[in-house]
Amino acid sequence: MKKVNLNHVASWMHRNARELELAIWNYHFENGNKEDVVNALMYYQNEDGGFGNAVDPDNWNVNSLPMATLFSINILKDIEFFDMQHPIYLGIKRYIDTELNFPKGCTFTAITNKDYPHASYYNYDEKYNITESTGVILGFCSFIIENYCDSKMYSAALELIGKMLVKLFDDNLGDMGPTGYISLVNAMKHAQIKGYDYDKLELRLKELVNNSIQRNPEQWPYYGYRPSDYIKFEDSIFYQDNKDIINVELDFLCDTLLENDVWPISWSWFENNEKYPKESTISENWWKSIKAIERAKFLKNFRRTQ
């Protein structure tokens, strides 16, 4: 069984990562604490409680954005920080209640992105938003029903969930759709939302995941979903159908970890690379830190680290 030593990944992280990603790395691999992650994350939070300021390295918009705020919520979820009375969460709740304009305001792209460096897929596009905003809406629905039941948006979220679950069985769910629906169903089960056939929902999620995974390792250096994008542990409902391809990816990660570097990312800012050459290069390095954490965790969870 192939395994990797993460010592040089740790060294790379300490040399290259932002304070935020370094705190996350330390939490997962070097006995760091959650508070350091939260404190670093709060520097990206605006007065209205939302997040911007390039917390998502692919969008340098300083304004509070739904995607950037959801990005930050997911960081807090990753480190299992759930103190809803902490200022960071009080700010997020304030943003949801007063600035987000839920659900209409839960858009994937924003008009103000044009004023700041960003990847091409963040170019504002109303038609693009119709599909790609699905994942954003699902993410906020998940947060509201699981962590913010006293929100004035709670009843609206419950009503919206029923409509969104009908769409779960459509073919075009957008790029973020499958992960958004996985998050939603997990949140619904945790919040004990009744009246739904969870076996049927999870069967559909398995179908989506199995169809979404790119199963040709030769394509993994390019954009596409790998098993690790959906399956983090062996107790995942998606594990049994995909355990063979998971082992293929684990071997792939062992083989492609670069000496004195980490794994490359599989996308770019495309046509915006020429428009923002300096920022796109910086963003790439920041994203390498984020992906290094994700891949190191995946390897660790499946006992592939030394």
Q: In terms of residue numbers, what domain contains 172?
A: 44-212
In a domain? residue 30: no
pLDDT tens profile 158-198 = 999 999 999 999 877 877 888 999 999 999 999 999 999 99
Q: Give the number of other CB atoms < 10 A from CB of residue 62.
A: 15
pLDDT of residue 43: 98
For residues 230 and 285, membership in a common domain is answered with yes
Q: Give the number of other CB atoms < 10 A from CB of residue 87.
A: 12
For residues 202 and 275, membership in a common domain is answered with no
For residues 50 and 186, membership in a common domain is answered with yes
Helices (H), the chain: 7-16, 19-29, 34-42, 66-78, 87-98, 126-147, 154-167, 177-190, 198-212, 239-256, 272-275, 277-301
The average pLDDT across 2-23 equals 97
In a domain? residue 103: yes
The average pLDDT across 19-32 equals 98
pLDDT tens profile 41-75 = 999 999 999 999 999 999 999 999 999 999 999 99
Q: Give the number of other CB atoms < 10 A from CB of residue 221.
A: 13
Instruction: Find the range with the poorest average confidence among 68-72, 248-252, 256-260.
Output: 256-260
Instruction: Give the separation between CA 107 and CA 66, rounded to whole angstroms.
Output: 7
Side chain identity, residue 30? E
Give the chain's mean pLDDT.
Answer: 96
For residues 105 and 229, membership in a common domain is answered with no
pLDDT of residue 176: 80
In a domain? residue 181: yes
For residues 177 and 238, membership in a common domain is answered with no
> Domain count of the chain?
2
Q: What's the pTM?
A: 0.96
In a domain? residue 217: no
Last residue of a domain, one of 190, 212, 234: 212
SS3 85: coil
Q: Are 187 and 209 in contact (CB under 8 A)?
A: no
The average pLDDT across 239-264 equals 96
pLDDT of residue 173: 80
Structure tokens at 270: 């495309």
The average pLDDT across 78-99 equals 97
SS3 120: helix
- Kindly tell me if the per-residue pLDDT of 236 is higher than 80: yes
